[in-house]
Chains A and B, each alone.
Chain A
């Protein structure tokens, strides 16, 4: 492996479902130990990109390299020990408990004669502690709130112990408080455990605040990639989303804050003074 080349990258990929081409000649690199966030309008191919990077979708042309090797030539189980994915929708089996679900994350490390080692037990406990669901261990997953459930799924992905973790819209369907809770959790995992995270997010301001590396996509192309402070500009938002806006500094974090242009100024909506 060349020094300096990232662990996960895709080169010159053509991504297609059946005959519908989503992207052509797409190349991306995920910087090691980054919290990379992919943004872009609906149907721009960001989830498809994540599927390709996680071995779910085989590129029609080009390749995804994981540690310098074509990810599709490596056995699924071996890849699953290096790279984890939290898909957009997962089904919790009826009546399964939190601890049992998180324990399923150990699957790629287990075998017929090694079904539940002390290591498995320790990692599951750590994963539940890291995501704050240890107190819920014996509860049934179907009884939990949306935010709790998402933390349980993240705990399962953590139990897989992969240095790279991909998350497909981890905050969708959550209210604002739970969105921030999940993103704070991701940031902590990135900073404290040194994992490389790649997430698809819808909210530009969340992306700008939490990402260390941003990839902006439109129509299956990468329009810009880099640090959020440099990438997120009014011009870029106009180009990628077709949205006129102003970019100001986030008073909390100092990162770029996108404020969409108002159709009418607030003053005009106020009742006329008598």
Chain B
């Protein structure tokens, strides 16, 4: 812990290691970003990229950078950040390392709305809107089913698992009802992909993250750290536990819903990023900001891998995060088992 104090009585406390993790992630994300923007079917040198970004590129270069590659990169950063932050919030709220939107039903909820639009036929704007709406509706449903003098962690997990099972069934049914072409499109969407994402996907998420990230990080972060010690202990320290849970649950559901609307339900980022952040910072607590940075870096890296790993064929980013995340989860369980915690 390092403390900065000013003569006026201001004092700021931070962990140098957590700050370092944040900065390292940002640098790594920037490096991966340059690779992502420079490479591809029309390779450019980093100098060309820089020149184009500052307004000196040819019309073709300007189009490729500003309309194709940059929005895709920004969407990846934002979706990763939103999922990392939401995952850290969920894990802290349910006090369970497996608490993630994928397991609590929110991801499936967002998918249901999107699939309905696919079956009925609709624009990609309608699809995004439906994903957000049904993600929020799932949040409300889980909240209503869980509420009993406040939302407690254990009940939230159980209700979430139940809702996940139901929605998985609904989603499977919807897929069987879709015409073949639409079903193929739906499956691609369900995997989570950043292919062809433009500013229309990035900007709504930017707005949501711009409002919710400060609210969660600055407004709720310190209180959430107290909640780690149990509801009673947090309440005794003056944390308004019920209100805090409601606000955080709402914020995390919104983040997940908008992230799904932008890139589809990219799996495992929300689960993996907070764990990785905690391991890197080696500090207790929800590690909200590091989790957000790690999430953004992870998804940019996964998307880069998805684009370049197989020369001929592009993978959806969700396939990469799923493979990496699954492997990580198995490793985590093995480690926990060895440590005697599972």
- Give A contacts to B, CB under 8 Å: 18, 54-56, 75-81, 84-96, 100, 104-105, 107-108, 110, 112-118, 120, 157, 160
Q: Are A114 and B9 in contact (CB under 8 A)?
A: yes
Q: Are B233 and A116 in contact (CB under 8 A)?
A: no
The A contact surface, by secondary structure, is: loop
A140 to chain B, nearest CB (A): 10
Q: Are A18 and B218 in contact (CB under 8 A)?
A: no
Of B137-145, B190-198, B236-244, B264-272, the one contacting chain A is B236-244
In the complex, which of the residues A93, A110, A120, A160 contacts B229, with contact meaning CB atoms closer than 8 Å?
A93
In the complex, which of the residues B1, B5, B11, B149 contacts A18, with contact meaning CB atoms closer than 8 Å?
B149
- Looking across the interface, which residue of chain A has its beta carbon closest to that of B218? A112
B226 to chain A, nearest CB (A): 6
Please give, as numbers and ranges, the residues of chain A lying within 8 Å of B282 by CB-CB distance.
95
Q: Are B237 and A108 in contact (CB under 8 A)?
A: yes
Q: 6 closest Cβ contacts across the A-B interface?
A: A80-B238, A87-B232, A77-B238, A85-B236, A93-B284, A116-B13
- Looking across the interface, which residue of chain B has its beta carbon closest to that of A114? B11
A98 to chain B, nearest CB (A): 12
Give Cα A88 to B284, complex, Å.
Answer: 22
A115-B12, A116-B11 are known contacts. Are A91 and B235 too (CB-CB below 8 A)? no
Give Cα A80 to B223, complex, Å.
Answer: 13
Instruction: Given contact pairs A104-B226, A113-B11, A160-B237, enumerate 9 new A-B contacts (beta carbons under 8 Å).
Output: A54-B236, A76-B235, A76-B238, A76-B240, A77-B238, A79-B238, A107-B238, A108-B238, A160-B236
Please give, as numbers and ranges, the residues of chain B lying within 8 Å of A76 by CB-CB distance.
235, 238-240
Give B1-38 as 1s and 0s: 1 = Cβ < 8 Å from A's Cβ atoms. 10101000111110000000000000000000000000
22 contacts between A and B (CB under 8 A): A18-B148, A76-B235, A80-B236, A81-B238, A88-B232, A90-B229, A90-B230, A90-B233, A91-B95, A93-B228, A95-B283, A96-B284, A100-B284, A105-B237, A107-B222, A107-B237, A107-B238, A108-B238, A113-B11, A115-B11, A116-B11, A117-B5
